[in-house]
Amino acid sequence: MTRALVAIRSVSQRFGVDGASVPALEAIDLEIPDGQFVAVVGPSGCGKSTLLSLVAGLRVPSSGTVLCDGEPITAPMPRKVGMIFQEANLLPWLSAEDNVAFPLKLRRVARAERLAAARRMLELTGLAGFETRLPHQLSGGMKQRVAIARGLVQNPAVLLMDEPFASLDEQTRMVLGDELLRIWSETRKTVLFVTHSLNEAVYLADRVVVLSARPGRVVDDVAVDLPRPRSFAMTSSERFGVLKDRIWQHIKHAERR
Amino acid sequence: MRRHERLIVAAGALGLFVLWEVLVRLGRIDASLAPAPSTILDALSRLLRRPEVLASLGVTAWEVLAAFLIAVPLGLGLGFLLAEVSALDALFRPLVNFLFGVPKSIFLPVFILVFGVSIPQKIAFGVFTTIFVLIVGGVAAVQSVPRELVTVGRVYGATRWQVVREIYLPAMAPILLESARLGMVFNITAVLLCEIYGARDGIGYRIAAWGENLQMPQLYAALVLVAAAAVAVNEALRLVETRLGAWRQRS
Counting residues of chain B whose pLDDT is more than 90, the rounded percentage is 85
Nearest CA to A94 out of A57, A30, A137, A127 is that of A137
Q: What is the pTM of this model?
A: 0.85
Integer CA distances (angstroms), B175 to A89, B96, B180, in order: 20, 18, 9
Split at pLDDT 50, 70, 90, the class of B3 is confident
Residue A51 domain flag: yes
Residue with more model confidence, A253 or B177? B177
CATH for the stretch B31-244: 1.10.3720.10
Q: Average pLDDT in the A226-250 region?
A: 93
**Would the pLDDT of B212 be above 80?**
yes
pLDDT in tens, A169-198: 999 999 999 999 999 999 999 999 999 999
Q: Is A156 on the interface with B (CB under 8 A)?
A: no
| Cβ-based burial of A24 (10 A; exposed 0-12, middle 13-18, buried ≥19) | buried
Question: What was the ipTM of the complex prediction?
Answer: 0.89
The predicted pLDDT at position B247 comes to 83
Nearest CA to A56 out of A79, A38, A33 is that of A79
Which residues form the domain of A196? 35-59+74-256
Q: DSSP letter string over A94-123?
A: S-HHHHHHHHHHHTT--HHHHHHHHHHHHH
The predicted pLDDT at position A44 comes to 83
The predicted pLDDT at position B1 comes to 66
Compare CB distances from A58 to B154, B171, B249 and report the shortest one's residue: B154
CA distance B107 to chain A (A): 41
CA distance A205 to chain B (A): 24
Q: Is A109 on the interface with B (CB under 8 A)?
A: no
| Domain residue extents for chain B | 1-30, 31-244
Split at pLDDT 50, 70, 90, the class of A21 is confident
Q: Is A78 on the interface with B (CB under 8 A)?
A: yes
Q: Which residue does chain A place closest to B172, by CA atoms?
A: A93
Q: Which residue does chain B place closest to A78, by CA atoms?
A: B156
CA distance A93 to chain B (A): 5
Q: Is B160 on the interface with A (CB under 8 A)?
A: no
Prior bond of A229 cis (ω within 30°) = yes
Number of domains in chain A: 1
Q: Which residue does chain B place closest to A136, by CA atoms?
A: B249
Q: Is A11 on the interface with B (CB under 8 A)?
A: no
Split at pLDDT 50, 70, 90, the class of B249 is low
Contact between residue B75 and residue B137 where contact means Cβ atoms under 8 Å apart: yes
CATH code (residue A97): 3.40.50.300
**Would the pLDDT of B57 be above 90?**
yes
The predicted pLDDT at position A20 comes to 83
pLDDT in tens, A96-120: 999 999 999 999 999 999 999 999 9
| Cβ-based burial of A131 (10 A; exposed 0-12, middle 13-18, buried ≥19) | middle
Which residues neighbour A87 within 8 Å (Cβ) at sequence distance 6 or greater?
A167, B148
Contact: A78, B162; criterion CB under 8 Å = no
Contact: B156, A58; criterion CB under 8 Å = no
The predicted pLDDT at position A257 comes to 61
Split at pLDDT 50, 70, 90, the class of B251 is very low
The predicted pLDDT at position B174 comes to 92
Of these ranges, A2-6, B81-85, B246-250, the one predicted with the greatest mean pLDDT is B81-85
Chain mean pLDDT for chain B? 93
Integer CA distances (angstroms), A159 to A60, A78, A87, A135, A166, in order: 19, 10, 16, 22, 17
Chain mean pLDDT for chain A? 92
Report the side by side order of strands in the sheet with A71-72.
A20-33, A4-17, A63-68, A71-72
Residue A53 domain flag: yes
Split at pLDDT 50, 70, 90, the class of A1 is very low
pLDDT in tens, B11-50: 999 999 999 999 999 999 898 888 999 999 999 999 999 9
Contact between residue A209 and residue A31 where contact means Cβ atoms under 8 Å apart: no
Prior bond of A103 cis (ω within 30°) = no
